Amino acid sequence: MIIEPTKGGSYHPVWGFSLDYVPHVSGSTVSWHRTPKTSRLDLRYDPIDYEADPGRSPWFISSMHGSDQMKTDALNVAKCAIPRAIAFFNSVQETPDLVNVFTTQMAKPAVRFSFYNYIQQPLAYAFTLARLRNHDEAFALLKQYIEQYKVSVDASAKLRKLIEIA
């Protein structure tokens, strides 16, 4: 679980999986994030994307009202976040379980950002399907990813090669 900044001097929890078999793209470079230092969330759950009532949310830790209020907010957020994060992590015991989480995330109506607002998630889904030997769907998702996010020719070629051996 990580705590991310939001607008207005607030912070909120986010949790998810960093998958060592999924590369990431930066410009025309395709890299790996296989160490704790380079990890990034390939599949993320951000509660304010799906569960927040913008006017009254239990997910925000405000830094605008002093340290005592920040501590109170953090404790309240932890009471909500920890059980949900544990349930999220417990729902995945093996790689095939990730497919269920990906499809659930894709189908959820978003309050804020949807599944496709996070560029890493569709790529991770494609590589997860390839890892499970569902190559036709994996290649179709990779093609869609390349087109949707306007991936460079060099990076596209590298991704196609990597997904073949995933």
Quick one: three-class SS letters along 100-127?
HHHHHHHHCCCCCCCHHHCCHHHHHHHH
In the prediction, which pLDDT does 92 show? 97
In the prediction, which pLDDT does 54 show? 56
Calpha distance 109→116 (Å, rounded): 12
In the prediction, which pLDDT does 138 show? 97
In the prediction, which pLDDT does 51 show? 78
Tokens, residue 146: 């390349």
pTM: 0.91
**27's torsion region: left (phi>0), alpha (psi -120 to 50) or beta?**
left
In the prediction, which pLDDT does 55 show? 57
**123's torsion region: left (phi>0), alpha (psi -120 to 50) or beta?**
alpha
Specify which residues 61 forms β-bridges with: 11
In the prediction, which pLDDT does 7 show? 82
Q: Rounded to 5, what percent of the chain is helix, strand, coil? A: 50, 15, 35
In the prediction, which pLDDT does 83 show? 95
What residue ranges of the chain have pLDDT lower than 70? 52-56
In the prediction, which pLDDT does 50 show? 82
Taking the domains of the chain in order of start, what are their residue ranges?
2-164
In the prediction, which pLDDT does 158 show? 97
CA dist list (Å): 99 to 21, 23, 27, 109: 15, 18, 27, 18
Alpha helices in 45-65 (DSSP H): 47-50
